[in-house]
Amino acid sequence: MSGNVGDQRNWLEKLGDKIPGYSGYVDRERRRDIDKLQRDHLADQVRAIKGPANDVMRELSSGGRLFEVGPVDRILKKLDQLENRIRFASYGYTGFFDVVKIHAEQLDAIYRFDLALVEQVDKLDAKVRELKAQSATADGLKASASEIDTFLDELERTFDARQGAIGQTGQDVPPGRPLFNG
C-alpha cells in the first residue's frame, strides 16, 4: 500500500467493488449524510429567521403593545416547529436510503423539493424582516403576520411533499403505489 491518499482511495474503491453490496451501502450512507447536512443547513436558516421575529416581539413588549404580541408569538412557535421538523425528520424505512439503486428522476424530484424549500426559506426570511417595518402600526403588523403565517403553512406543505417523495408516496398517488416508477 502506498502512502498517497489518492492511491489508498483507489485501493478502497477497488476493494468495495469486490464486496457484494458494499458500494450500495456506501451510496446509501452518503445519501443519508448529505440529506442530514441539507436539513441541518435549512434548519439553521430557519433558526436565524427567528432573530428578527424576536426583535419585533421585544419591541412590542417594551413599547407596551402587549395585546399585539399574539401574532408574532404564533409565528415564533411555527418557526420553532418547522425548525425541529426539518432538523429531526425521521424517515424510517424508505427507498431513498435503501441499497437499491436510485433512479436519476427520483433524485431530481427530491432535489427539486430541496431547491423549493431553500427558495421558500429565503422568501420567509425577507417576509419576517419586513414584519419589523410593518410592526409600526397594529394593522400593518396584523397583515404582515397573517401573510407570514400563511406562508409558513405553505412551507410545511412543501416539506411534507418532500417527505412523501422520499418515502416514495405522494399525496396525489393512491396509497401503496410508488411515486416513482422503478
| CB-CB contact of 23 with 16 (8 Å) | yes
CA distances from 165 to 74, 107, 121, 143 (A): 29, 9, 19, 33
Tell me what pLDDT residue 170 has: 38
Alpha helix stretches (DSSP H) within 88-103: none
Cell of 146: 397573517
107-139: pLDDT as tens digits: 777 788 888 899 999 999 999 999 999 999 999
**Confidence at residue 20, expressed as pLDDT on a 0 to 100 scale:** 59
Reference 128, options 42, 16, 52, 60; nearest CA is 52
Closest CA to 56 of 77, 37, 42, 71: 71
The Cα 109–Cα 23 span in angstroms is 23
Q: How do the domains of the chain map onto residue ranges?
A: 31-166
Q: What is the pLDDT of residues 48-102, one digit of tens each?
A: 999 999 999 999 999 999 999 999 999 999 999 999 999 887 654 444 555 455 5
Q: Average per-residue pLDDT in the chain? A: 78
Instruction: For residues 103 and 75, give the distance between their C-alpha atoms in angstroms, rounded to a whole number.
Output: 38
- Please tell me the pTM assigned to this model: 0.72
Residue 14 has pLDDT above 80, yes or no: no
Rounded-to-integer distance, Cα 139 and Cα 157, Å: 27
From CA 45, how far away is CA 125, in angstroms rounded? 8
pLDDT of residue 9: 56
Cβ–Cβ under 8 Å, residues 127 and 133: no
Closest alpha carbon to 146 in 131, 132, 157, 158: 131
